[in-house]
């Protein structure tokens, strides 16, 4: 009865959607545990591309039960848009279950997100503007709106009014915007109640019952370790816990039930939004990597910042998540380089540092110490077994394994479901 967590080991967009879809085909349940429609997970099935934001990647595998856990924040308009779009392409969404304890992103939190960013000026985070931060803040502040509130109009109205008292002061008094009418927000939220009702479930009970019955469950993380509110490059992070612990609190499952924790890592590094990124390439080499890797955001279309593989980051991800396996993605993108630099440590103010620096300022000053590995020129996109990869590509993978301190169990050589070299099967 394996329970497998699949999460991002870098700054997001590592290919979690593809990995989840690929492993998820062999599982019974796929559960999302954090984030919201700040995520953009791409899955390519038979040449058809799906960009999923709120729906778990398991939605694309018939027979899998897709679940949105309590740790996710839901924009109802986006959820139903996505369900309609995917359904129109022949995908059955009637299997979807949603935790009654998941929080809703009310429209006012999208306004709050964009206004906060604007007023941060040069210190802005570069958020996706989807209302993620203010909604998690409301949750912690105990003024959030949950899915279950949709079924009690009086309570919902009281909660919306309560949440808007302070926000309207801020919007009109500080941000110079019109105050928001709580009745309009309440009516908008209530308009989704009947449609969502059949999907609402006690997700924790469903998942634990499934594990008791010997079924296989995959926990799909949004964002990534370095964007984690506790363990990432704070304040340039998202507002949830994408790390392994988040899979537990975000679904209502205990740590003793987890069998494998899989980190998804690109063979190089990318980042969207602001914040430190030691191996970033701001020159034409970085531009070429962006073009070659198609590194443009699935959610906002923003160009992703690009850089070489940072082993300090992935080693850190191995540690804070207790990774058992790494799914390495996009190795095909590195074909054609004579030498490939890999960052194995940093130099911070003249001193070598092998682990993530203790404080933010040091990380901002971190200069990568590179090891140069031999590249390869052969096309690897059709390779299906590790031994058939060029020797230099095999050596690259072996070295990443050493410096990341975790075995690399699969290697992506293309965006399609089938373009994966499995070295060690994660299930079975």
Distances (CA, A) of 138 to 143, 225, 233, 247, 392: 5, 23, 22, 20, 50
Instruction: Name the residues annotated as catalytic.
Output: 13, 41
* Stretch near ligand IMO under the rule CB under 6 A, chosen from 73-81, 124-132, 161-169, 383-391: 124-132
**Binding partner of residue 125 among ligand IMO, ligand GDP, Mg ion, none, CB under 5 to 8 Å per kind?**
ligand IMO
- Here the tokens at position 214 are 């010997």
Residues in the chain: 428
Q: Which is nearer to ligand IMO, 224 or 326 (CB)?
A: 224
Per rule CB under 5 A, is residue 13 in the interface with Mg ion? yes
- CA-to-CA distance for 398 and 414, rounded, in angstroms? 20
SS3 189: helix
Binding positions for ligand IMO, 129-168, rule CB under 6 A: 130, 132-133
Q: Print the binding letters for residues 409-428 with ligand GDP: x by CB under 6 A, - otherwise.
A: ---xxxx-------------
Q: Where are the beta strands (DSSP E) in 277-383?
A: 305-307, 309-310, 325-329, 339-348, 351-353, 367-374
Alpha carbon 142 to its chain's center:
25
Per CB under 6 A, the list member of 2, 15, 36, 134 interacting with ligand GDP is 15
Per rule CB under 6 A, is residue 39 in the interface with ligand IMO? yes
Q: Which is nearer to ligand IMO, 114 or 257 (CB)?
A: 114
Q: Print the binding letters for residues 223-262 with ligand IMO: x by CB under 6 A, - otherwise.
A: xx--x----------xx-----------------------
- From the list 147, 185, 189, the residue with the least C-alpha distance to 164 is 185
* Min dist. Cβ of residue 337 to ligand GDP (A): 15
Cβ pair 329, 418 in contact under 8 A: no
User: Binders of Mg ion: how many residues, by CB under 5 A?
Assistant: 3
**Binding partner of residue 128 among ligand IMO, Mg ion, ligand GDP, none, CB under 5 to 8 Å per kind?**
ligand IMO
- CA-to-CA distance for 304 and 126, rounded, in angstroms? 12
* Min dist. Cβ of residue 372 to Mg ion (A): 29
* Min dist. Cβ of residue 36 to ligand IMO (A): 8
Cβ pair 265, 19 in contact under 8 A: no
* Stretch near ligand GDP under the rule CB under 6 A, chosen from 7-15, 71-79, 161-169, 203-211: 7-15
Largest separation between any pair of C-alpha atoms in the chain: 66
Q: Where are the beta strands (DSSP E) in 154-193?
A: none
Q: List contacts with ligand IMO (CB under 6 A).
A: 8, 12-13, 38-41, 125-128, 130, 132-133, 222-224, 227, 238-239, 272-273
């Amino acid at each position: 009865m394996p329970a497998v967590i699949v999460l991002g080991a870098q700054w997001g967009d590592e290919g979690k959607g593809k990995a989840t879809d690929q492993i998820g085909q062999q599982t019974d349940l796929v559960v999302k545990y954090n984030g919201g429609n700040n995520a953009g997970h791409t899955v390519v099935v038979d040449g058809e591309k799906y960009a999923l934001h709120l729906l778990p990647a398991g939605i694309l595998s018939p027979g899998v039960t897709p679940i949105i856990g309590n740790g996710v924040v839901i924009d109802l308009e986006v959820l139903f848009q996505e369900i309609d779009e995917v359904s129109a392409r022949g995908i059955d969404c009637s299997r979807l279950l949603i935790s009654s304890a998941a929080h809703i992103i009310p429209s006012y939190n999208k306004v709050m997100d964009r206004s906060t960013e604007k007023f941060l000026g040069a210190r802005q985070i570069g958020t996706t503007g989807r209302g993620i931060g203010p909604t998690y803040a409301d949750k912690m502040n105990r003024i959030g709106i949950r899915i279950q509130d949709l079924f009690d109009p009086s309570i919902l109205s009281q909660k919306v009014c309560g949440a808007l008292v302070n926000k309207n002061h801020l919007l009109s008094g500080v941000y110079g915007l019109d105050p928001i009418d709580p009745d309009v927000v309440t009516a908008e939220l209530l308009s989704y109640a009947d449609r969502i009702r059949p999907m609402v479930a006690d997700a924790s009970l469903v998942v634990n019952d499934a594990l008791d019955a010997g079924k296989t469950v995959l926990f799909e993380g949004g964002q990534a370790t370095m964007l984690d509110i506790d363990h990432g490059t704070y304040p340039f992070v998202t507002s949830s816990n994408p790390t392994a612990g988040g899979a537990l609190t975000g679904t209502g499952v205990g740590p003793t039930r987890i069998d494998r924790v899989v980190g998804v890592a690109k063979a190089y590094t990318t980042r969207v939004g602001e914040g430190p990124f030691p191996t970033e390439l701001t020159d034409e080499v970085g531009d070429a990597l962006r073009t070659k890797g198609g590194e443009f955001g699935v959610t906002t279309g923003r160009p992703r910042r690009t850089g070489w593989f940072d082993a300090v980051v992935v080693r850190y991800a191995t540690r804070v998540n207790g990774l058992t396996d790494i799914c390495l993605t996009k190795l095909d993108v590195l074909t054609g380089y004579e030498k490939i630099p890999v960052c194995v440590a940093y130099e911070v103010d003249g001193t070598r540092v092998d682990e993530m620096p203790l404080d933010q300022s040091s990380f901002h000053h971190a200069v990568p110490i590179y090891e140069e590995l031999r590249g390869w020129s052969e096309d690897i996109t059709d390779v299906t077994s590790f031994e058939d990869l060029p020797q230099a590509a095999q050596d690259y993978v072996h070295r990443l394994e050493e410096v990341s301190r975790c075995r690399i169990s699969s290697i992506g050589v293309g965006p399609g479901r089938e373009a994966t070299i499995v070295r060690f099967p994660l299930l079975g």
